[in-house]
Amino acid sequence: MVSADVPDSVLNTPSSICKAADRVSVYHASNDRALKHSLGKLEGGTRVGRLGPAAMDKVHKNVWEIDCSSFNIRLNWPLGNNY
């Protein structure tokens, strides 16, 4: 499991996370309001929890991304961070 509040490049090849797992699922939501408030806390740009991996062509083939933006606010108003 990877925290949403890490740089979006954390899964880029080579990644020990991807090598250690059979499958890595990345759940992300561009409208996660709780994560939006933490943007100033981590240097290095976008978080994996906001837009998913930086570039899917740079991650291992066992990485799957699931965009939860269409339903996360509805399920957890007002923060939308329970996906």
pLDDT band at residue 44 using 50, 70 and 90 as cut-offs:
low
Q: Given a cut of 90, is residue 43 above it in pLDDT?
A: no
3-state helix, strand, coil in the chain (%, to 5): 30, 15, 55
End-to-end alpha-carbon separation of the chain, Å?
Answer: 14
Q: Is residue 57 part of a domain?
A: yes
- Burial (0-12, 13-18, 19+ Cβ within 10 Å), 69: middle
Q: Model confidence over 14-42: pLDDT tens digits? A: 788 889 999 999 999 888 877 776 665 65
Q: Given a cut of 60, is residue 5 above it in pLDDT?
A: yes
Q: Given a cut of 80, is residue 68 above it in pLDDT?
A: yes
Number of domains making up the chain: 1
| Structural domain for 41, as ranges | 16-73
Q: Is residue 80 part of a domain?
A: no
pTM over 0.85? The answer is no
